[in-house]
Amino acid sequence: MLIDTYGRVATDLRVSLTDRCNLRCTYCMPEEGLQWLAKPDLLTDDEIVRLIDIAVRLLGIEEVRFTGGEPLLRPGLVGIVERVAALAPRPQMSLTTNGIGLRRTATALKAAGLDRVNVSLDTLRPDVFKTLTRRDRHGDVLDGLQAAHDAGLTPVKVNTVLMPGLNEDEAPDLLAWALGHGYELRFIEQMPLDAQHGWKRESMVTAGDILASLRTRFDLAPEGADDRGSAPAERWLVDGGPHRVGVIASVTRPFCAACDRTRLTADGQIRTCLFAREETDLRGALRSGGSDEEIARIWRLAMRGKKAGAGLDDPTFVQPDRPMSAIGG
């Protein structure tokens, strides 16, 4: 079991498969990209599967989310999914992606054992998409979403970040579009995880702003804390249900008290929180011949050091050194 000193138990593992991405979203990284990890620093496919096996067999992990960077850029992704699906106990598996490569991989991922996907899409306007991501790939994302739906990677969840002056007016249109396609839309407050450290709390679009915008067109009723559990998104029934919309308010309504996540970076480091500035190395133990039990012991000790909260409300908060693309969302 992975339990911290506040009694929280981690059952959800986020695994970053690569720090690389084929978009350059303005809230994540600079236009020229970043200094990518060297290939020897990345975990191999075998190392990733072994760590996930330790997590589910010895540490009580029940869900695995593959992230990046962009996880579809990992050449061995389908094989990793297939091998994790064969573990006992078998964890639930999902993938967070920008959707660009889903049209060609969705069917294979479903056949390998992937359960569902989260796809990032911030706008319905191709020109705004190009401005936000610095790439002209809007149509590819829409095609990827449809391919995921057709392959049965459901429920297909769409993650949206609203940015002032760009797409902050699109919330009602995005929800209407998502309802029409059978996708579950989740708005995410912009977080201080951009490589260029340009995030400013006073200029971000907040959960309150998003809900006020949605209510100009839809009736929203809170789903309730019992239904939410440890999920990061607060959810609302839309026009009486059954459709829902979620808001992940990491900044203005932090949900740290119910956090059940642990994170593995692409280079084999354990992070207990997206906003942590400390990491614990598992790659070294793996490559020096450490046993499964020893690696599990290191992981448990890392979890004991998890802080009570992310500290975003603390005026002395310091942004993590690694951007979102290197940590995994």
Q: Is 136 left (phi over 0), alpha (psi -120 to 50) or beta?
A: beta
> For residue range 116-145, what is the model confidence (pLDDT) as tens digits?
999 999 999 999 999 999 999 999 999 999
pLDDT at residue 298 in the model: 98
pLDDT at residue 251 in the model: 83
pLDDT at residue 310 in the model: 65
> For residue range 23-36, what is the model confidence (pLDDT) as tens digits?
888 777 766 666 78
> For residue range 197-243, what is the model confidence (pLDDT) as tens digits?
555 666 689 999 999 999 999 999 998 766 666 678 899 999 998 99
> For residue range 132-185, what is the model confidence (pLDDT) as tens digits?
999 999 999 999 999 999 999 999 999 999 999 999 999 999 999 999 999 999
310 near 275, Cβ under 8 Å? yes
Query: H/E element holding 81?
Result: helix 77-85
| 264 — pLDDT class (breaks 50, 70, 90) | very high
For the chain, how are helix, strand and coil distributed in percent, rounded to 5?
Answer: 35, 15, 50
Query: Peptide bond before 89: cis, by omega within 30 degrees of 0?
Result: yes
pLDDT at residue 302 in the model: 96
pLDDT at residue 253 in the model: 82
pLDDT at residue 227 in the model: 64
The contacts of residue 277 (CB under 8 Å, 6+ apart) are 318, 320, 321
pLDDT at residue 27 in the model: 76
Look at 34 and 18; give whichever has higher pLDDT.
Answer: 18
> For residue range 105-121, what is the model confidence (pLDDT) as tens digits?
999 999 999 999 999 99
CA dist 92 → 56, 63, 85, 274, 296 (Å)? 10, 5, 8, 21, 20
| 95 — pLDDT class (breaks 50, 70, 90) | very high
pLDDT at residue 197 in the model: 54
% of the chain beyond a pLDDT of 90: 72
pLDDT at residue 254 in the model: 78
pLDDT at 322 over 70: no
> For residue range 35-80, what is the model confidence (pLDDT) as tens digits?
788 999 999 999 999 999 999 999 999 999 999 999 999 999 999 9
pLDDT at residue 325 in the model: 53
Q: Nearest Cα to 101, choosing from 117, 83, 122?
A: 117
pLDDT at 292 over 60: yes
Q: Are strands 234-238 and 220-222 parallel, antiparallel or unpaired?
A: antiparallel
pLDDT at residue 76 in the model: 96
Look at 193 and 285; give whichever has higher pLDDT.
Answer: 285
